[in-house]
Structure 1
Amino acid sequence: MNDALFQPIKLGPYQLKNRIVMPPMTRSRASQPGDIPNQMMATYYQQRSSAGLIVSEGTQISPMGKGYAFTPGIFSDAQIRGWKLVTEAVHAKGGIMFAQLWHVGRVSHPDNLAGEQPISSSTLTAENVKVYVDNGEQQPGFVDVVEPRSMTVDDIELVIQEFHQAALNAMEAGFDGVELHAANGYLLNQFIDSESNQRVDEYGGNLENRLRLLDRVVETLVDAVGAGKVGVRLAPLTSLNGTVDANPQQTYVAAAELLERHNIAYMHIAEVDWEDAPETPEIFKRALRKAFSRVIIYAGRYDGEKGSAAINNGLADMIGFGRPFVANPDLPERIKHGYPLAVHNPDTLFGGNETGLTDYPVYQQ
């Protein structure tokens, strides 16, 4: 029934053992000070290395790229050493792992940025958006984001350089590739979507201009690590963190065509996955498939059956299972044999220790 998920697949230079992806999920367990990946995180990812592909939680490319307390970075020597623990643990179990490179843009707060004002495409505050902060004085907790500063062209050039260096750092840390986070309302998405970009220079206004930063960042990642080791995550219909596009089908088919021109390994589509969310129309998925010829990953409200169907009907090549991976370290095995899935504890998703991270057991018959 779920056979399609267990066919091998080639992704860039890699032969993957199955088509199940562990997608990026923020868990906020990095060691402090310094947002450094640690042994606890290495154990967590190693437990889940039976996925065909693991994409790391979002990892900030610079101090200004950070949106939430306790998330890991990939810009310091200590962070690179910490990630080596993780990649070595995953490789020891035969896993393949890409690093998700993350700049949150306006989805932040000065408490997470050493007092600096967040940056974005425009001086538009994300409405009804909160981030987790730790200012070292009160208990860590959620606060409203603040108004960002509109980036200058020099700011943009600096961020492009930071993405380039982060990709090189990821290779040094032992990752097999990198995924650009251009989804879910973070910096790249703030440039792409029409309602969050009010610029009047070459990075704003018409669709070609709004896609320019995406084009340039993908170009620099390909230059750093090679096209076969680059993926990009997009979220065409999500309104997470306040980004909305007036014509998402036109915008994201154009984005897919742009990614096709760069010959990257994969395009990763985050579908809206809250309870009563609208389905992504099949006509839209067909248009994305026509625009992009290499591996397409979908992640959202998938189970084994829905995932296999998406692969069998040609819309997807791989399927990401997010929250199911939290409580089911052996998720591929459970899907394959129809074993019941454990349910995660929402109270231990973010921050804390091993509880709710590495203590979920594998299935015992």
Structure 2
Amino acid sequence: MTTTTTHPTTTTHTATAPDGAVAATTAAGTAQPLLRPADFGDFQLPNRVVMAPTTRARAAGPGLVPTDLHAVHYGQRAGAGLIVAEGTWVSERAIGFVHVPGIYHEAQIAGWRQVTDVVHALGGRIVLQLWHTGAASHPAHLGGALPGGPSAVNPHERSFTATGFQDTVTPREMSRAEIATTVADFRTAAENARRAGFDGVEIGALGSFLIAQFLNPRLNLRTDAYGTDRAGRRRLLLEIIDAVAEPWDGRRVGVRLSPYWTSGDTFTADAETLAAYDELVAELNDRPVAYLHLRGPETAGAGGTPDFAAFARYRRRFDGPFIANLGFDRDSGNALVEEGGADAVSYARHFIANPDLVTRFALDRELAAGDPSTYYTGDARGYVDYPVSA
């Protein structure tokens, strides 16, 4: 929905964080690179331990509105250098996963305002990831309508619906008018996020979802300005970046990419894909991007070490702050930051089970393990009941 254009002033919050994180960080000094402050331009991070966005399916009530549980969950984790809140729908047309909150109507904005107020009161910084599933959605989410995608090609993914996972279907090819509407939806979502008190937004251009579909030559068979070649396939993302940046002062828009994503028969990290992302990442330097958040390749087995070279490929092509993600623990995260391979490292699984993750890193305490059976259950269990370390 269209909203007013009067915005609150956005400030960077640096007050004392919860759970002893600041005290623990001070005690540890700068011995750990992850605990050093980071200058992200308009974001000043007290440490480099970023909370990655994690879909937790807790907006189970009417209207996909964030609840008190969301406020508690994110408040517990406000010791992170930066919180990237879960992927959030930019419109009803974007929906592709059950019980995920949106940012497209007033009740959702009010629900998210409760979250940001708690995080800021506890000294944290929080941005909102903007999400659109595109062809990876399912008619079950869309009142029986076909989802839209770059072309009428089934991505062969699975969509989590109210009755469980269902295989995707062949989508409609989005018209030029629908593409323009989608860009406008992202802009309105960014404006709504600012009204909700977020410090910025992150564009979710990763995985098997809409923007990544447009970047994919196996799914994007268009012959117009949004297809044809690499430049055409990245046009949607670049237009979204420009639109999402409009409501913000300074650089408050991050971009999350996953060039190494491999899924089914349509997403593969082959030489052509990686080369296309080389060009895209370099072009981000000409856009108002606050940081690049890059998901690396899957690690080899349990306890595998992240491939530092995979991150270096894109780190050297992007001039701004760089966040690395996937498969890191405390030691590998410290090592990557120490060698200059990233400015910060994001953690998802570890933050789920360890709300005081920064403190545990600072004091070298054992990490708790999460319970995957509670990841999408919709209640407090496995969401706000993980204890801090004694």
TM-score above 0.5: yes
Name the structure 1 match of 2:178: 155
Aligned to 2:95: 66
The DSSP-based 3-state class of the residue aligned with 2:284 is helix
Contact residue 195 and residue 245 of structure 1 kept, 8 A: no
The 1:88–1:215 alpha-carbon spacing in structure 2 relative to 1, beyond 3 Å, is same
Looking at structure 1, the residues matched to 229 and 338 of structure 2 have their Cα atoms a distance apart, in angstroms, of 36
Q: 1:33-182 counterparts in 2 under 5 A?
A: 33-127=62-156, 129-134=157-162, 140-182=163-205
CA contact (8 A) 2:299 2:307 kept: no
Aligned residue identity for 1:59: T
Deviations, residues 244-300 of structure 1 (Å, cap 9, x unaligned): 365132111211112111141100001233654998765553342222111100110
- 1:252 pairs, out of 270, 277, 299, with 277
- Write the distance in 2 (CA, Å) between the matches of 1:49 and 1:163: 26
Deviation, 1:205, is 2.1
Q: How does 1:1-365 map to 2 (within 5 A)?
A: 3-127=32-156, 129-134=157-162, 140-240=163-263, 242-244=266-268, 246=270, 247-273=272-298, 275-276=300-301, 282-364=308-390
User: Are the aligned partners of 1:70 and 1:351 in contact in 2 as well (CA < 8 Å)?
Assistant: no
Which ranges of structure 2 fall in alignment gaps of 5 or more residues? 1-29
SS of residue paired to 2:203: strand
Q: Look up the equivalent residue of 1:10 and give its one-letter code.
A: D
Contact conserved, 1:62 with 1:75, CA < 8 A, in 2? yes
**Residues 188-220 of structure 1, C-alpha deviations (whole Å, 9 max, x = no match):** 000112222111111112111111111111111
Cα distance between partner residues in 1 of 2:99 and 2:375: 12
Check conservation: 2:294, 2:311, Cα contact below 8 A.
no
TM-fit CA distance, 1:147: 1.3
* AA matched with 1:294: G
Query: Residues of 1 paired with 2:299 and 2:34: CA distance?
Result: 23
CA-CA distance at 1:224 after TM superposition: 2.3
When structure 1 is superposed on structure 2, of 334-343 and 194-203 the one drifting more is 194-203
Deviations 1:284-317 (A, max 9, x none): 5334222211110011000111011111111100
Is the contact made by 1:249 and 1:284 (CA closer than 8 Å) also made in structure 2?
Answer: no
Percent identity at matched positions? 36
Q: For residues 268 and 151 of structure 2, what CA distance do their matches in structure 1 show?
A: 14
Deviates more, 1:55-64 or 1:188-197: 188-197
Q: Answer with 214-223 or 244-253: which moved more.
A: 244-253
Contact 1:109 1:145 in 2 (8 A): yes
Amino acid at match of 2:79: S
SS in 2 for 1:29: coil
After superposition, the Cα gap between the structure-2 partners of 1:334 and 1:281, relative to the gap in structure 1 and judged at 3 Å, is closer
Taking structure 1 as reference, are residues 180 and 357 closer, same or farther at Cα in structure 2, changes over 3 Å only?
Answer: same
Residues 128-170 of structure 1, C-alpha deviation per residue, up to 9 Å, x if partnerless? x222212xxxxx3221112111111111100000000000000
CA distance 1:362–1:282, change in 2 (3 Å): closer
Tell me, what secondary structure is at the counterpart of 2:294? strand
Distance in 2 (alpha carbons) for counterparts of 1:216 and 1:167: 14
2:20 — aligned with what?
none
Q: Which residue of 2 aligns with 1:137?
A: none
Q: Give 1:33 deviation, angstroms.
A: 1.4
Cα separation, 1, equivalents of 2:203 and 2:249: 13
Aligned-partner Cα distance in 1 for 2:94–2:325: 24
State the 1:351 CA deviation.
2.9
Residue deviations 1:208-243 (CA, integer Å, cap 9, x gap) = 111111111111112222451000000001124743
Query: Which deviates the most, 19-28 or 205-214?
Result: 205-214
Q: TM-score of the superposition, structure 2-length normalised?
A: 0.88
Which deviates the most, 306-315 or 217-226? Answer: 217-226
Partner of 2:17: none
What letter matches 2:217 in structure 1?
S
AA of the residue aligned to 2:192: N
Contact kept, 8 Å, 1:2 with 1:335, in 2: the verdict is no
Q: State the AA in 2 paired with 1:58.
A: G
Contact 2:355 2:387 in 1 (8 A): yes
Letter in structure 2 aligned against 1:12: G
